[in-house]
């Protein structure tokens, strides 16, 4: 599915609704949710009242100055609202796209779970849990359910974005269908598994609605810190007023600092930058998950992904390609490797399994061997079957055909025994060696002559070892889970570079492993698709269920991968890390950029009372009013400039915590110190040149 996530931030479909929402969010009840911006909101109201008073009668400061301060404080609130509305607007655009996928179609309801049962045409929206429907080729699946009879090819592109159809059949782990998908061929009988409003699409729409997002634990902790800082600065600012009165009375000169200046000082000192962008960062994190075709139940799950300590990964399909492939030829004594490869590829021509095709490909790539058209005339192919565990071809040759066979060692041994022959000791030893390292040996014969052995092995995905090394560098432990024996598991684990493995894994073993790590205070992430994975998914802190999996797995997980790609778990962790890195980076920048405002506003506020403070005017700002107004304007504009970074996120790098902290301080800490000095000075020059102050 193509979501509006790819749209530019300047797209009118996103920008205009966000602008309207920014003004709607000026309601006091909305502002109460963000204590930091609430202080700015109250300051804006107070300075507006002072500006009205200045227009009517004499006031504490020139009316144009108070009006300018008031306007820019309102802009600060609006810019913060706009950042949040922009992030929510992207989520709402996703929800709108999902709603378009919902269709109220006519369903063929069966009064009994049989193909020949009486059919009733009803609206799909009227179906309830337990109803049984027939879905035939060309029909839209009316609602989520489980296939109880039949098999069909289903187009799930409306949900996953993948054009390739998938097979859904009764029994097994691929027996669920989702409302809005389309049956392309054959028929299936489906038992409805949800009530109206509880379908997968309904849940997806609710999940991506940013306005309903709950704050995550880290976000709550950061909010408490920001509120604490704001209270400290509020008390410090309030204490300046009586201090100013005392100084004027004691010194007999200077002026009492005005309320407008104190409000401007307070707004510039409290962490308004991160306060205004905090919600946007959280909503954008969920949007990035959606962009990766992952539905997160809550922002809590996204954040937990960034804090993960242990990754549990299935071997098949995640670490390995999923099908064993031919990797090497081991000729018998007196046989050349090329001769073995030639016979093996001819004996595999009738083997349509991925393993059989891989033998043909390996022979072609290693020795440029191809089937010989002339020798194949009149050939009798022996297809591979699970019963015989062999494949081959009988080639015309003088009186008797030439019989080429390839199969498991046991099957070939039985075949040779018909002729009173057996495997040579050297070949048997090769078979044992291959089996001991976790691979599968296939023996090749030409009539009764044993040619050698082909090794089939799990092929570790390219680049997966490097990704595991990156995760290790970040302090994340990777554990491979497999049903293979310990010997095979150890071989694959060593080649893939995982930190540990769990062999011959059963559902209770996975659950026990997760609990043991959680008992040590670690967060655990895993993927699953089967009903037997549901207990472990329910226990894991980050549980990614495959969309192709069972209903039980999807209900147990707190994320659903629409692509059903087990490797997606690594990407999910990276997105979670990126969200935490973005929040940390902008918090560092927000706190650091307050320093320049001290040097702008404090000397200006007490310029007449304490001329000595002019030494702190490092930026040589034009006048006290210019200094204060420049700081307030910069404080508002920096929120707008940081919105793209908050929504896109900082660039993800697989680095350790110490390195990330150092880089964070160097880039955003040092940047937060330098940028405001430059920005405030430039604004001061513009204001001076335009004669505003």
Ramachandran angles phi, psi of 88, nearest 5°: -65, -35
pLDDT in tens, 620-652: 888 888 889 999 999 999 999 998 888 888 887
What pLDDT is attached to residue 685?
Answer: 92
DSSP three-state, residue 593: coil
- At residue 181 the predicted structure's pLDDT band, cuts being 50, 70 and 90, is confident
- At residue 387 the predicted structure's pLDDT band, cuts being 50, 70 and 90, is confident
Consult the annotation and say whether 563 binds a ligand: no
What are 663's two structure tokens? 């880089």
The answer on pLDDT for 208 being more than 60 is no
Among 177-181, 209-213, 551-555, name the one with the lowest average pLDDT.
209-213
- Among candidate residues 139, 307, 314, 594, the one labeled active-site is 314
pLDDT in tens, 310-336: 988 877 767 877 677 888 999 999 999
Consult the annotation and say whether 139 binds a ligand: no
Consult the annotation and say whether 215 binds a ligand: no
Instruction: State what percent of residues in the chain have pLDDT above 90.
Output: 19
Consult the annotation and say whether 390 binds a ligand: yes
DSSP structural state of residue 195:
-
What pLDDT is attached to residue 95?
Answer: 63
> Residues 62-68: contacts with CB within 8 Å, 24+ apart?
62/625, 64/692, 65/260, 65/625, 65/629, 65/693, 66/260, 68/629, 68/692
Query: Is the pTM higher than 0.75?
Result: no
d(CA 650, CA 139): 44
Greater pLDDT, 349 or 88: 349
501 and 480 in contact (C-beta within 8 Å)?
Answer: yes
CA dihedral 472, 476, 481, 484 (to 10 degrees): 20
Residue the block writes with tokens 């139940």:
297
User: Given its phi and psi angles, is residue 599 left (phi above 0), alpha (psi -120 to 50 degrees) or beta?
Assistant: alpha
Burial degree of 248 (CB within 10 A; 0-12, 13-18, 19+): middle
Consult the annotation and say whether 351 binds a ligand: yes
- At residue 4 the predicted structure's pLDDT band, cuts being 50, 70 and 90, is very low
Consult the annotation and say whether 370 binds a ligand: no
| 561 noted as active-site residue | no
d(CA 428, CA 421): 13
Q: How far is CA 517 from CA 309, 521, 536, 568, in A?
A: 9, 7, 13, 22
Mean pLDDT of the chain: 83
């Amino acid at each position: 599915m193509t979501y509006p996530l790819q749209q530019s931030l300047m797209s009118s479909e996103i920008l205009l609704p966000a602008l309207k929402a920014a003004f709607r969010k000026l309601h006091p009840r909305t502002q109460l949710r963000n204590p930091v911006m609430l202080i700015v909101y109250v300051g804006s109201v107070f300075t507006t009242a002072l500006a009205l008073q200045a227009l009517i009668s004499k006031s504490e400061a020139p009316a144009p100055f108070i009006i300018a301060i008031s306007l820019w404080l309102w802009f600060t609130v609006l810019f913060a609202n706009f950042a949040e509305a922009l992030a929510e607007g992207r989520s709402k655009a996703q929800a709108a796209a999902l709603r378009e996928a919902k269709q109220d179609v006519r369903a063929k309801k069966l009064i009994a779970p049989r193909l020949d049962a009486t059919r009733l045409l009803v609206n799909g929206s009227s179906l309830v849990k337990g109803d049984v429907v027939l879905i035939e080729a060309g029909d839209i699946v009316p609602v989520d359910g489980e296939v109880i009879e039949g098999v069909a090819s289903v187009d799930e592109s409306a949900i996953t974005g993948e054009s390739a159809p998938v097979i859904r059949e009764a029994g097994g782990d691929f027996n669920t269908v989702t409302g809005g998908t389309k049956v392309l061929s054959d028929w299936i009988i489906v038992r409805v598994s949800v009530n109206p409003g509880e379908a997968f699409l309904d849940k997806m729409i609710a999940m991506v609605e940013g306005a309903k997002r709950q704050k995550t634990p880290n976000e709550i902790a950061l909010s408490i810190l920001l509120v604490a800082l704001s209270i400290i600065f509020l008390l410090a600012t309030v204490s300046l007023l009586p201090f100013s009165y005392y100084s004027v009375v004691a010194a007999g000169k200077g002026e009492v600092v005005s309320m407008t200046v104190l409000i401007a000082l307070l707004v510039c000192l409290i962490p308004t930058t991160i306060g205004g962008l905090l919600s946007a960062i959280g909503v954008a994190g969920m949007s990035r998950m959606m962009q990766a075709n992952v539905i997160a139940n809550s922002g809590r799950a996204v954040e937990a992904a960034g804090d993960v300590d242990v990754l549990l990964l299935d071997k098949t399909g995640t670490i390995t390609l999923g099908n064993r492939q031919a990797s090497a030829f081991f000729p018998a004594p007196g046989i050349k490797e090329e001769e073995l490869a030639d016979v093996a590829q001819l004996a595999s021509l009738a083997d349509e399994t991925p393993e059989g095709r891989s033998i043909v490909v390996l022979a072609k790539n290693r020795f440029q061997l191809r089937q010989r058209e002339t020798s194949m005339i009149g050939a009798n192919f022996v297809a591979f079957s699970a019963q015989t565990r062999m494949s081959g071809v009988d080639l015309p040759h003088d009186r008797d055909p030439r019989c080429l066979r390839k199969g498991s060692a046991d099957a070939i041994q039985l075949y040779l025994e018909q002729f009173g022959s057996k495997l040579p000791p050297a070949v048997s030893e090769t078979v044992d060696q291959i089996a001991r390292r976790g691979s599968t040996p296939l023996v090749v014969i030409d009539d009764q002559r044993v040619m050698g052995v082909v090794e089939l092995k799990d092929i570790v995905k390219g680049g997966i070892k490097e990704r595991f090394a990156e995760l290790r560098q970040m302090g994340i432990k990777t554990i491979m889970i497999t049903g293979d024996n310990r010997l095979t598991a150890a071989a694959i684990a060593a080649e893939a570079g995982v930190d540990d493995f769990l062999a011959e894994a059963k559902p209770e073993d996975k659950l026990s492993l997760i609990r043991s790590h959680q008992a040590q205070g670690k967060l655990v992430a895993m993927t699953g698709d089967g009903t037997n994975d549901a207990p472990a998914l329910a226990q894991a802190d980050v549980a990614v269920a495959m969309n192709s999996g069972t209903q039980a797995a999807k209900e147990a997980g707190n994320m659903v991968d629409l692509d059903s790609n087990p490797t997606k778990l690594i990407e999910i962790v990276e997105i979670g890390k990126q969200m935490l890195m973005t929040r940390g980076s902008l918090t560092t920048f927000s706190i650091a950029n307050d320093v320049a405002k001290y040097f702008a506003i404090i000397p200006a506020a007490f310029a007449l009372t304490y001329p000595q403070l002019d030494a702190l005017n490092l930026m040589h700002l034009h006048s006290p009013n210019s200094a204060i107004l420049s700081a307030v304007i910069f404080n508002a504009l920096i929120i707008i400039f940081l919105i793209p970074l908050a929504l896109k996120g900082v660039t993800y790098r697989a680095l350790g915590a110490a390195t990330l902290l150092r880089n964070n301080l160097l880039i955003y800490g040092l940047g937060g110190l330098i940028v405001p000095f430059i920005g405030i000075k430039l604004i001061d020059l513009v204001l001076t040149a335009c004669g505003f102050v």
